[in-house]
């Protein structure tokens, strides 16, 4: 019983940390990477579609992305979506290809990105705390049902707190690494 509670807690923590890593991967640093455009949504035949599902994104140079829509008629829609995204990009259409130069980040924009990273980290920690709450509730139910003694429940709660504390430190480490990456010139 206790092993199931711990396993569920660890799985919830892994999911929260994976979501944090995905969100942080979308944040710009000084270099171009194809994952930057994962959050861009394009109006595609009446449906809002993620850009990677309708175009090829390549990184030919460290400060340039190229986007090649599979449907040539959608170039204008893709350009509009890139321009309207909150990434601060200025795409240029070149025939059937869209070139997206990545401007260097200003100091203010770097600070804003660090704030966004910290906000994402806090959301991840909220998810971890929710998983802790669920685990403690399950332990309480097991204790009240008589499936676990008072001492076992106390040890289990202590184990849950240790796991959650380690997960919080892991989140801090992930965000600290991303913060260094963002602030690096």
Q: Which alpha helices (H) appear in 40-149, and where do they start and end?
A: 75-84, 107-145
Segment 8-18 mean pLDDT? 92
What CATH number did the domain enclosing 67 receive?
3.30.1360.40
Of 9-23, 33-47, 53-67, the least confident: 33-47
Segment 172-184 mean pLDDT? 88
Among 101, 125, 154, where does a domain finish? 101
Same domain, residue pair 123 and 142: yes
Where residue 175 falls among pLDDT bands split at 50, 70, 90?
A: very high
What CATH number did the domain enclosing 135 receive?
1.10.132.20
Domain that holds residue 173: 2-25+106-183
The radius of gyration of the chain's CA atoms, rounded to the nearest angstrom, is 22
Among 101, 127, 146, where does a domain finish? 101
Q: What percent of the chain has pLDDT over 70?
A: 98
- Minimal CA–CA distance to 69: which of 91, 53, 85? 53
Q: pLDDT digit string (tens) for 111-141?
A: 888 898 899 999 999 999 999 999 999 999 9
- Minimal CA–CA distance to 55: which of 3, 96, 2, 6? 96
Looking at the structure of the chain, the number of domains it has is 2
Same domain, residue pair 83 and 126: no
- Taking the C-alpha atoms of residue 10 and residue 4, their distance in angstroms, rounded to an integer, is 10
Same domain, residue pair 47 and 96: yes
Q: pLDDT digit string (tens) for 65-118?
A: 899 999 888 899 999 998 888 777 889 998 889 998 888 878 888 888 889 889
What is the pLDDT at residue 185?
Answer: 59
């Amino acid at each position: 019983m206790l092993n199931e509670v711990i396993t569920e807690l660890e799985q919830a923590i892994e999911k929260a940390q994976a979501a944090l890593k995905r969100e942080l991967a979308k944040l710009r640093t000084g270099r171009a990477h194809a994952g930057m455009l994962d959050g861009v949504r394009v109006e595609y035949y009446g449906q809002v579609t993620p850009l990677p599902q309708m175009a090829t994104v390549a990184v030919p140079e460290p400060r340039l992305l190229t986007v090649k829509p599979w449907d040539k008629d959608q170039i204008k829609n893709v350009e509009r979506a890139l321009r309207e995204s909150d990434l601060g990009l200025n795409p240029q259409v070149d025939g059937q290809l869209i070139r997206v130069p990545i401007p260097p980040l200003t100091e203010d924009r770097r600070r804003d990105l660090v704030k966004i990273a910290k906000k994402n980290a806090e959301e991840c920690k909220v998810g971890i705390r929710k998983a802790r709450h669920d685990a403690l509730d399950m332990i309480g139910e097991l204790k009240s049902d008589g499936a676990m003694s008072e001492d076992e429940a106390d040890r289990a709660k202590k184990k849950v707190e240790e796991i959650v504390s380690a997960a919080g430190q892991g989140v801090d480490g992930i965000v600290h690494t991303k913060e260094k990456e963002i602030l690096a010139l």
